[in-house]
Chains A and B, each alone.
Chain A
Amino acid sequence: MEGFKKNRKTKQAIWKWGRTGVQVIAFILAPSLFTQAFGGVKAVAETMGTGGVIVISDFLIRFGILCGITFLFGRIFCGWCCAFGAVNDWIYRISVFLQSRLGKKLPKMPESWTLVLQKLKYVVLLAVLICCFYGKSGWITGHSPWTVFSLLVGKNFRPAGYGIAIVLFLLLLMGMAVEERFFCRFFCPMGAIFSLLPELPFTALRRDEKNCIQNCSACRRSCPVGIKLGEDSLQAGECIRCGRCMQVCPRGNIRPGTGSKKKATD
């Protein structure tokens, strides 16, 4: 039993640091992918607002590629490559670490709140698209916390005129310290789009409920986006394929794909 537990802990650690490694590489190589891809979408809305011909811009192509990847593999971009998502992860991890070190615990958001707030990102998406349609895309960029992030990453931080954006960014950082993937779950317009895309079933994570320990909920507790892994549900659009549930399940009940029962490997 001890060997089994140690084996599982090691696998969790490997998986966690493996994903962190990929996130770091993506952060260095393509820290603006998320905002560029969404920029393509905003441009389409703006164009449609003027009745102009939609142009297939470079940004729109990136958006298309990310959508294609999401269709094939699920939201692996969100879980493994998005620089802003990585910031979410790392702020939370630092916060958890500091909390345990200082012996203090920050309040946790009740589940009823999270279920409602998850829908907020669709409102954000709609609001941004409507603004762009009516030619206010510059206003959005001027007040967006993503712009603050881009300036910081580009080592080009000139705070003048970005007061509101900076305040929003700081508020988001505070939220990220309290709730895992705070921005991604509640505010990200790109995430809203991805969660609405059809995903091929081959990488979807499924739970073999018959084999579960009663009252276990290890998978749900480890999930950064708060999914109660169950049958085909709309919640599945939230999954960012971090793989934690797979690693944490004491019975190895969680597997990707169409769920042909495999032998437990540990």
Chain B
Amino acid sequence: MRIFLMKLLNVLLIAGILFFYQSYAMERKEAVDSYQKELAEYKKAKAALEKPYKNGVYEGVGKGFGGDITVQVTVEDDRIKEILVLSAEKETPEYVSAAKQLLPDIVDAQSADVDGVAGATLSSNGIIAGVKEALQKAKK
């Protein structure tokens, strides 16, 4: 009988250890899970800041030297992919061509906060303003 009781006590002891371990492990899992959740939310918010634009094609209009300049901004894979000048009728063609040099800069910077082209300031400003309006529409 004594052996039976000894062995029973032994088993209960082991069961007790396992029980306490399991409650520790579950607490730990809860803590890890809630941390992971917070981390995922933080990452999402950060990504939204870094990728502020929705995919799509957007138009914007800005005042150039002679009149309105219409631009088209294509956002693909959350990035500004391409910018086209749709119309710049009232601008002097040479100035528009010069100002278009800032378009790659906008794509590089992923923002319209770029310097205008020297000597084609107003056309540059028109394009920049148009792109800014288009990007406003593209904001998430």
Contact = CB atoms under 8 A, between A and B. Distances in A.
Interface of A: 44, 47-48, 51-54, 196-201, 232-234, 236-237
Interface string B65-104: 0000000000000000000000000000000000000000
Given A52-B29, A53-B22, A232 B2 contact: yes
B25 to A, nearest CB: 5
B71 to A, nearest CB: 55
Given A51-B25, A53-B25, A53-B29, A232 B3 contact: yes
A53 B26 contact: yes
B3 A234 contact: yes
Contacts of B29: 52-53
* Chain B: interface size category: 10 to 19
B18 interface: yes
Contact of B4 (A44, A51, A198): A198
B37 to A, nearest CB: 17
A54 B18 contact: yes
A54 B11 contact: no
B11 A197 contact: yes
Contacts of B3: 232-234, 236-237
Given A54-B21, A198-B11, 15 more contacts: A44-B18, A51-B25, A51-B28, A53-B22, A53-B26, A53-B29, A54-B22, A198-B5, A198-B10, A199-B4, A199-B7, A232-B3, A233-B3, A234-B3, A237-B3
